[in-house]
Amino acid sequence: MTESTLATRDMSSHPLVRLSAKLKVFVEFFGQRGAYFILPLVIITMIDVFGRKLTNTWFDFQLFLVENVSPMFQSTMLQELEWHFHTVLFSMVLGYGFTRNRHVRVDLVRMHLQTKWQAIIEFIGTTFFMIPYTIVVIYFCYIFTYDSFITNEISPSLVGMSHRWIIKTVLGVGLIIALLSGIAVWLQSILVLFGSEELRFELMTLEWPEDMGGGVEGYERMVLEDQETDMEKIGKSGKG
């Protein structure tokens, strides 16, 4: 058994690594299931669009659904259901996207830095920005939801949805999950910065130095200089 294998095994038993991994599993449990809300969101949106367009003097598609299926198919109700499902979808996958490093990064500098410097940026970002900001938003979301529950807030529309506090609670849960994902990445950045250089474990938003040669943050590099254009290939084939 090689030294690197021993180091990897030892690091997998590190309490911070275990805690970070458990947080990731928890976050991704909700993220993977929250992603399924894209299906009812698409279906409801399609029904709403068809209900608006398939209307003429002899047949009204939406009116048919309201009278024969359910009052839930009224246009206002469908539109409110759309943003309800969109809120659930966005909230549940927010933390999942962070642990999977799939959020958009506009960083022309960070992507070209070595692992240690990337970890420094990640540590500063999670310590002073993401984690504190998410905690503040969770606090105001709690007030937002509590007031909605106490007043039994309903839709301002007469044919809209009731119990607004439910969807606001979901938003708060999603923010808590996002906070946990930030803590998971924060713990990993601490280990990369202050742990032994020989220790290895599965990273979320960073890459180990030996893994950075063939990709950028998990994506395969494209070396444009080594790629022949279609015109060059056509030219060569023509000469042949």
- Of 49 and 175, more confident: 175
What are the two backbone dihedrals, phi and then psi, of residue 215, each rounded to the nearest 5 degrees? -160, 170
**For the chain, domain boundaries:** 12-235
Top-confidence range, 35-39, 204-208, 211-215: 35-39
Res. 43: pLDDT tops 80: yes
Structure confidence at residue 221 as a pLDDT band (50, 70, 90):
low
Structure confidence at residue 70 as a pLDDT band (50, 70, 90):
confident
3-state secondary structure 170-207: HHHHHHHHHHHHHHHHHHHHHHHHHCCCCCCCCCCCCC
DSSP track, 126-141 = IIIIIHHHHHHHHHHH
The token pair that represents 219 in the structure block: 């994506």
| pLDDT score, position 148 | 95
Q: What span, in angstroms and rounded, lies between the C-alpha atoms of 167 and 68?
A: 28
Reference 85, options 195, 170, 193; nearest CA is: 170
The token pair that represents 14 in the structure block: 């590190």
Average pLDDT over residues 220-235: 53
DSSP state of 215: E
Q: Which amino acid is at 87?
A: T
| pLDDT score, position 8 | 47
| pLDDT score, position 58 | 65
Q: Which amino acid is at 113?
A: L
Cα first-last separation, the chain = 54
The token pair that represents 218 in the structure block: 């998990």
| pLDDT score, position 187 | 95
Average pLDDT over residues 180-205: 91
Q: What span, in angstroms and rounded, lies between the C-alpha atoms of 115 and 154?
A: 50
Instruction: Give, for 96, the enclosing helix (H) or strand (E).
Output: helix 75-99
pLDDT tens readout for residues 138-157:
999 999 999 999 999 998 88
Top-confidence range, 12-21, 170-179, 196-205: 170-179
Structure confidence at residue 4 as a pLDDT band (50, 70, 90):
very low
Q: What span, in angstroms and rounded, lies between the C-alpha atoms of 228 and 170?
A: 50
| pLDDT score, position 227 | 52
Place of tokens 């198919």: 73
